């Protein structure tokens, strides 16, 4: 049976294909019987699925984050599509093309982005800072994870390679800011931008993009500081003061205590990185909205406000106003 992406599913479709299992909950129906609610995903989106009349240990061997083969039918429930699951089993996949169809990924070239980041790192003047950043990014364990990790589980850059894409954008913005503010230390801006989110390689699962146990318990900021300190201990560096400033950028880049930063930005470089990070994440939210010719104002839960997606609506309404008043 030909595979369709979740976003293409229609009511009454028969489905026999692979998904990533995102959630699995055993629930109780109104009649007292047990059922399992699954959430499946591929690169285009997610869909819930249900199996009715089950026991507590049903499918105990299938764990969140695994690739599963599912057979079922698409039905509509309360205006939403879901799967009535008839068969679910875990299967190991070796086919990289099929795996790629399950995981949302950046449309940009991974190796090109790594190459650009490498050029930025090489442009750092301070020898120790340059060596530290290089040893972290190009570590044989870290680099593959850095290429694959998402920048978030939702809201922005929530796809494979999203962290890499976001990091490169923040570095580029920071480089521009360095040329605009002469008092800012460019070495700290480039290094801080490169490492500000590095802890996310261990914060998120690379299949489900959900937080790992380590991510839930620590968060990416403490993890990032741990990674930096580990490399400092393993190498002989002399830039102690610059390292403290670099770590301050990492711990403060969320900007406010209530947003997850242990401290607020207290240096020019830290403030600039905070805003560069914020600019890219907020702009990316707009780029990930699905825009059509009828898109106008829409409520963004992540931004907490109504936003306009298609400026032509404003232009068209302005023309109508001019017509009404004879201008």
Query: pLDDT tens-digit profile of 299-326?
Result: 777 777 787 776 654 554 444 444 444 4
3-state secondary structure of 207: coil
Which residue ranges form the domains of the chain, and what is each CATH number? 6-98 (2.40.50.140), 104-286 (1.10.3210)
Provide the 10 A C-beta neighbour count for residue 59: 19
SS3 285: helix
What's the pLDDT tens digit per position in 252-275? 999 888 777 899 999 999 999 999
CA pair distance 50, 16, nearest whole angstrom: 15
pLDDT value at residue 162: 94
Structure-token pair, residue 299: 């409520």
Q: What does the pLDDT read at residue 326?
A: 47
Eight-class DSSP state of 292: -
Contact 305, 286 (CB under 8 A): no
pTM, entire model? 0.79
Within the chain, which residues score under 50 in pLDDT? 1, 293, 313, 316-327
Q: What whole-number distance in Å separates Cα of residue 104 and Cα of residue 178? A: 33
Alpha helices, DSSP H only, in the chain? 96-102, 110-122, 127-137, 142-148, 162-180, 186-195, 200-203, 213-217, 220-234, 240-252, 268-287, 311-324
User: Residue 141 contacts by C-beta under 8 Å, 6 or more apart in sequence?
Assistant: none
pLDDT number for residue 137: 98
- What's the pLDDT at 294? 52
Within 13 A of 60's CA, how many CA atoms are on the CB side? 4
């Amino acid at each position: 049976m030909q595979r369709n992406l979740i976003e293409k599913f229609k009511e009454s479709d028969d489905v026999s294909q692979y998904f990533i299992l995102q959630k699995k909950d055993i629930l109780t129906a109104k009649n007292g019987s047990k059922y399992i609610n699954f959430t499946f995903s591929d690169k285009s989106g997610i869909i819930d699925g249900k199996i009715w009349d089950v026991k507590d240990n049903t499918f105990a061997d299938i764990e969140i984050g695994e690739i599963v083969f599912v057979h079922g039918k698409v039905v509509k429930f309360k205006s939403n599509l879901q799967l009535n699951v008839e068969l679910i089993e875990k299967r190991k996949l070796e086919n990289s093309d099929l795996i790629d169809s399950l995981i949302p990924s950046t449309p940009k070239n991974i190796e090109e982005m790594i190459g650009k980041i490498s050029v930025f790192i090489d442009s750092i003047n301070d020898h120790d800072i340059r060596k530290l950043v290089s040893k972290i990014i190009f570590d044989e364990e870290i680099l593959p994870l850095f290429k694959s990790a998402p920048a978030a589980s939702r809201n922005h850059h929530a796809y494979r390679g999203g962290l890499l894409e976001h990091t490169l954008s923040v570095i580029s913005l920071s480089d521009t800011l360095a040329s605009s503010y002469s008092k800012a230390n460019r070495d700290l801006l480039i290094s801080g931008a490169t490492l500000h989110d590095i802890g996310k390689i261990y914060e998120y699962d690379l299949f489900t993009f959900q937080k790992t146990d380590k991510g839930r318990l620590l968060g990416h900021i403490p993890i990032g500081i741990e990674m930096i300190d580990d490399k400092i201990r393993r190498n002989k560096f002399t830039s102690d003061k610059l390292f403290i400033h670099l770590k301050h950028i990492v711990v403060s880049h969320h900007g406010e205590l209530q947003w997850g930063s242990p401290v607020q930005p207290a240096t020019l470089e830290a403030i600039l990185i905070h805003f560069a990070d914020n600019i890219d994440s907020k702009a990316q939210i707009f780029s990930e909205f699905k825009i059509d010719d009828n898109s106008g104002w829409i409520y963004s839960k992540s931004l907490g406000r109504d936003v306009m997606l298609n400026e032509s609506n404003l232009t068209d309404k302005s023309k109508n106003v001019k017509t009404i008043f004879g201008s």
